[in-house]
């Protein structure tokens, strides 16, 4: 026995070899005749590449002789990246752990990022597997971050890994950050570890444009061949809350606040669906709140079976117990309400957002949300077995998107991704905003459908989005709601193009864009404002005419259109095949009785009028009429003084089986052919 103990003691005293440090010069001990130290390079705009700000500091070290000093002057944007000459080659099924020590000249939040590239010479195929913000003070402190291939990122998205360091998240702050003893190690993940489906490896439908590139805009329409039912459910508009910040349609006390004129204005939109959130977070009971939704939607003609209810706090800082969700479902069942869609949480991943107020505090991890969805789904379906349960995800984030889809599978019936476009609307061209930002989101929806199918085999699970639109921040960082272009012809054309594809190609089962009521100071996403009850925002008229020009069936449409490909500095999608598309997307639908063809077309060129020749088959046209929606200036106000400021007549000619018209630049055409 003593011999055994001695052997065990000797074995335990054998030093375990340290894991290999994958970083070159991570301890910064290598002499540095130049700055930055070996293994690191300055990154970003040339104006911020100041070598004196990135030095080996022999007077400040956590261990050894030196550390890495990163100085961030006030109102600058400089940062460093581990050198592409010494990359980490990404291995599949590998977990990477980064540890380091850091301190700063003042309390600050710094950032370390993991960036992946398909190629380093030249740099290409960029993606960001993970970015971590960390609080630094005046004393040395150790930090550890871990990312896993197959969980946070995929080796297919990038072959090489580089690290990125920012001394502060606040570009206005002057601060110095010291970093030392950086060690990056890799270890195989266990076979039992969760591995996600790689959406890049799943087959998915490419964005179908319906047209081919050519100099001329020519449409060939066969009314005798229908493709599918028109997806009318994607032309909805979301309300904020029952008693939201605008005081409409109810105020905080529960009083109904809409005038007959505003009621009529909403009814005139002929909305096929809508969504309310925070329904269980009002000053009155959830039952009273639901009753108010029902009475209001009945007044304005939105079918209750198409209305989505989300009960929890809009900022996802507080969740409701499953029993409260079940109570709401039971109330609907008892009252005979046809409500069936229950969206569990609003943007539950919002702790990722850079906001002055806390958000998303109810769900610290995706697993917290997954457990909540499973419990809520079980509670509601015990009351109403055919209820439809909605899952809130962020499709751009593997943990809050892909991972949630996998782990919550079986508990949800529809997926809510909020496919906003966050482009640079005050810097990008009109064409890129209208077309390429949409092609990116349509590609995202297609890949999301493939993931949903992979994780839910044999089940009918679909996308029913409850918020979308152009949500670009301003050039100076002002919030999207205040950016006029999000709501004027820029953002309105963006919505028109998106809905043309949504209705024609049906990648979503339903969608409602953001939002019905705002205030005059928030023109970016506005439809109506109580402060100006007789005026309408431009987006209002888009929906007014769009929903009047959707027939019952999508008919076969082929032809050509001039093409748009964005310049390299406006690229919004790394997929080469999705960079461009037709300048003039079009939707052609047939009325239920077969007597009327409806055409919606969007000329997304800012300055080019496009003549169109449309050949008809299996349809005898006797007359045609059209209108256009447009604005003269790129910065025209989103709020119109009068309808005629944006709506005009479009001359449409019929000659036998040929219909012709010319659609001016940056205008949307609505045509009725009988």
Q: Where are the domains of the chain?
A: 40-188, 231-398, 555-673
Cα–Cα distances in Å, from 55 out to 43, 86, 251, 255, 489?
A: 14, 19, 59, 64, 49
- The predicted-structure confidence for 330-380, as pLDDT tens digits, reads as follows 999 999 999 999 999 999 998 877 676 788 899 999 999 999 999 999 999
- Per-residue confidence at 571, pLDDT binned at 50, 70, 90? low
Cα–Cα distances in Å, from 124 out to 44, 118, 127, 184?
A: 15, 6, 9, 23
Say which CATH topology domain 231-398 has: TIM Barrel (3.20.20)
- Do the domains 231-398 and 555-673 sit in the same CATH topology, yes or no? no
Does residue 131 carry a pLDDT above 90? Answer: no
- Mean per-residue pLDDT, 225-232: 97
C-alpha closest to that of 590 among 302, 228, 212, 234: 228
Class of domain 40-188: mainly beta
Does residue 17 carry a pLDDT above 60? Answer: no
Does residue 635 carry a pLDDT above 50? Answer: yes
C-alpha closest to that of 421 among 371, 509, 316, 491: 491
- Per-residue confidence at 126, pLDDT binned at 50, 70, 90? confident
Q: How far, in Å, CA of 297 to CA of 307, rounded? A: 9
Does residue 31 carry a pLDDT above 70? Answer: yes
Strand partners, 237: 513
SS percent in the chain: helix, strand, coil, step 5? 25, 30, 45
Q: What is the model's pTM?
A: 0.89
pLDDT of residue 400: 95
- The predicted-structure confidence for 159-185, as pLDDT tens digits, reads as follows 999 999 999 999 999 999 999 999 999
Helix 437-455 to helix 489-505 angle (10° resolution) is 40
Say which CATH topology domain 555-673 has: Immunoglobulin-like (2.60.40)
pLDDT of residue 514: 97
Mean pLDDT of the chain: 93
Q: Which residue has the higher pLDDT, 15 or 52?
A: 52
- Mean per-residue pLDDT, 382-393: 98
> Which uninterrupted H or E stretch holds 639?
strand 639-640
> Which uninterrupted H or E stretch holds 366?
helix 366-383
- The predicted-structure confidence for 392-407, as pLDDT tens digits, reads as follows 999 988 999 999 999 9
- The predicted-structure confidence for 445-487, as pLDDT tens digits, reads as follows 999 999 999 999 999 999 999 999 999 988 877 899 999 999 9
């Amino acid at each position: 026995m003593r011999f055994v103990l001695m052997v065990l003691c000797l074995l335990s005293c054998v030093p375990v070899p340290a894991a290999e440090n994958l970083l070159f010069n991570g301890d910064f001990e290598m002499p540095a005749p130049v700055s930055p130290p070996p293994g690191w390079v300055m990154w970003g705009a040339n104006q911020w590449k100041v070598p004196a700000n990135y030095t080996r500091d022999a007077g400040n070290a956590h261990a050894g002789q030196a550390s890495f000093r990163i100085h961030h002057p006030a109102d600058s944007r400089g940062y460093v990246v581990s050198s592409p000459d010494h990359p980490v080659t990404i291995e599949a099924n590998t977990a990477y752990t980064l540890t380091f020590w850091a301190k700063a000249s003042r309390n600050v939040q710094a950032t370390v990022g993991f960036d992946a590239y398909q190629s380093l010479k030249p740099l290409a195929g960029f993606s960001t597997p993970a970015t971590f913000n960390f609080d630094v003070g005046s004393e040395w402190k150790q930090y550890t971050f871990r990312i896993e291939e197959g969980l946070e990122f995929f080796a297919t998205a990038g072959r090489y890994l580089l690290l990125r360091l920012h001394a502060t998240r606040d570009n206005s702050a002057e601060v110095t950050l010291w970093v030392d003893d950086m060690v990056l190690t890799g270890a195989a993940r266990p076979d039992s570890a969760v591995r996600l489906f790689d959406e890049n490896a799943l087959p998915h439908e490419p964005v179908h444009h319906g047209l081919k590139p050519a100099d001329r805009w020519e449409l060939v329409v066969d009314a005798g061949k229908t493709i599918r039912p028109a997806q009318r459910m994607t032309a909805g508009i979301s309300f904020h809350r029952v008693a939201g910040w605008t005081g409409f349609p109810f105020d905080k006390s529960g009083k109904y606040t809409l005038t007959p004129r505003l009621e009529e204005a909403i009814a005139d939109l002929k909305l096929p669906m809508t969504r309310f959130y925070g329904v269980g977070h009002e000053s009155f009971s959830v039952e009273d709140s639901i009753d108010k939704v029902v009475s209001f939607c009945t007044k304005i003609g939105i079918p209750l079976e198409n209305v989505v209810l989300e009960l929890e706090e809009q900022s996802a800082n507080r969740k409701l117990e499953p029993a409260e969700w079940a109570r709401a479902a039971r109330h609907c069942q008892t009252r005979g309400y046809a409500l069936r869609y229950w969206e569990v949480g609003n943007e539950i991943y919002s702790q990722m957002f850079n906001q002055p107020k806390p958000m998303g505090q109810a769900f610290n991890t995706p697993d917290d949300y997954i457990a909540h969805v499973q419990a809520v789904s079980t509670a509601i379906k015990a009351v109403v077995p055919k209820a439809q349960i909605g899952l809130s995800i962020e499709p751009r984030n593997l943990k809050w998107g892909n991972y949630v889809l996998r782990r919550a599978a079986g508990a949800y019936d529809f997926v809510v991704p909020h496919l906003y476009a966050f482009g640079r609307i005050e810097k990008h061209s009109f064409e890129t905003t209208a077309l390429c930002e949409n092609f990116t989101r349509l590609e995202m929806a297609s890949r999301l459908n493939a993931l949903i199918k992979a994780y839910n085999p044999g089940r009918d699970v679909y996308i029913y989005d409850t918020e979308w639109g152009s949500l670009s921040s301003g050039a100076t960082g002002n919030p999207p709601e205040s950016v006029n272009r999000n709501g004027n012809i820029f953002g309105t054309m963006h919505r028109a193009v998106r809905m043309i594809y949504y209705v024609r190609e049906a990648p979503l089962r339903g969608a409602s864009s953001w939002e019905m009521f705002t205030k005059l100071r928030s023109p970016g996403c506005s439809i109506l404002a109580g402060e100006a009850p007789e005026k309408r925002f431009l987006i209002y008229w888009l929906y007014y005419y769009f929903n009047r020009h959707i027939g019952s069936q999508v008919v076969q449409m082929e032809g050509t259109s001039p093409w748009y490909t964005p310049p390299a500095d406006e690229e919004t999608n790394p997929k080469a095949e999705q960079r461009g598309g037709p300048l003039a997307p079009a939707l052609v639908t047939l009325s239920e009785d077969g007597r009327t063809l409806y055409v919606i077309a969007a000329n997304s060129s800012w300055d080019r009028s496009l003549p169109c020749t449309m050949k008809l088959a299996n349809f005898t046209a006797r007359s045609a009429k059209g209108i256009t929606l447009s604005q003269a200036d790129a910065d025209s106000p989103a709020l119109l003084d009068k309808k005629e400021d944006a709506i005009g007549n479009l001359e449409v000619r019929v000659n036998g089986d040929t219909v012709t018209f010319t659609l001016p630049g940056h205008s949307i055409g609505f045509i009725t052919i009988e």
